[in-house]
Amino acid sequence: MARMKFICDTERCIECNGCVTACKAEHDVPWGVNRRRVVTLNDGVPGERSISVACMHCSDAPCMAVCPVDCFYRTEEGVVLHDKDTCIGCGYCSYACPFGAPQFPSNGTFGLRGKMDKCTFCAGGPEANGSAAENEKYGRNRLAEGKLPSCAEMCSTKALLGGDGGVVADIFRTRVLTRGKGSEVWGWGTAYGKPTAANAAPANKS
């Protein structure tokens, strides 16, 4: 079974924010919540790098570990999702997440913190696939439609790759071997474990 993963190729990301826009539009994400955002390091300095960041759907997700009401679950494709009917909006997950993925919409007169919202890998939530209830709470369920996440499919430079881990890793490996640089996969060590010595061979730089 496929294990869904994201890769952001920092050699290609041009900070266009197309992924952010695609996500907002696809899921009708409310004002103040960004399930995905682009972070630029050393902005304005030659050699700056931009990274598109969202939930990485970690193999050993810290948000799942700290949730006091156990609202998280992992699908058989490795996508980390949560149940908004169970979430109490405590915010523990946002402290635990190394990627800043959990978002909390402000609703109510005094900016009351609402239930957590995060990237779903376009896989919806626990409601029936494609149902109105699922769409209202979590957005579109593109995986059940046979599609990949909107952000990755919309990426103009294909810096952001999403899909079966084996396939996207193979695409990235081919790129690195062809261009001879930029083999660093940001966030993968944190999300999916550090590479073992056997798999940590550097890319061919010849």
Partner 1 sequence: MNVFIGVLVLAAGALALAGCGEKSQTVSARKSDMAAWQGTANTARAETGWTAGDRESWALHMQKRAQDQNEYTRTSVPAGSSALASVAPAPAPPPASAP
* Contacts with partner 1, residue ranges (CB under 8 A): 1-2, 69-71, 73, 75-77, 81, 83, 85-86, 123, 125-131, 135, 140-141, 143-148, 152-153, 158, 161-164, 167-168, 171, 174-175, 177-181
Rounded CA gap, 204 and 206, in Å?
6
| Residues in a beta bridge with 52 | 38
Residue 29 or 123: the one with the smaller Cβ distance to partner 1 is: 123
Nearer to partner 1, 181 or 194 (CB): 181
Q: Tell me how crowded residue 14 is: count the other CB atoms within 10 A of its CB.
A: 12
CB of 130 to partner 1, least distance (A): 3
- CA separation (Å) from 64 to 33, 40, 93? 20, 28, 8
CB nearer partner 1, residue 4 or residue 51: 4
**Contact status, residue 149 vs residue 55, Cβ threshold 8 Å:** no
In the complex, least distance from residue 2 CB atom to partner 1, rounded to whole angstroms: 5
Provide, rounded to whole angstroms, the least separation between the CB of residue 84 and partner 1.
Answer: 11
Q: Helices in the chain by DSSP H: which ranges? A: 18-27, 62-66, 92-96, 132-138, 150-154, 165-179, 188-192
Would you say 90 or 100 has its CB closer to partner 1?
90
Residue 7 beta carbon to partner 1: minimum distance, rounded to whole angstroms: 10
| Other C-beta atoms lying within 10 Å of the C-beta of residue 71 | 20
Closest approach of Cβ 32 to partner 1, in Å? Answer: 27
Nearest to partner 1 of 197, 201 (CB atom) = 201
* Other beta carbons less than 10 A from residue 105's beta carbon: 18
Tokens standing for residue 50: 């931009």
Number of other residues whose CB lies within 10 A of the CB of residue 91 = 12
In terms of CB distance, is 37 or 74 closer to partner 1?
Answer: 74
Give the integer Cα–Cα distance in Å for 57 and 73.
Answer: 11
- To the nearest whole angstrom, how small is the minimum distance from the Cβ of residue 15 to partner 1? 19
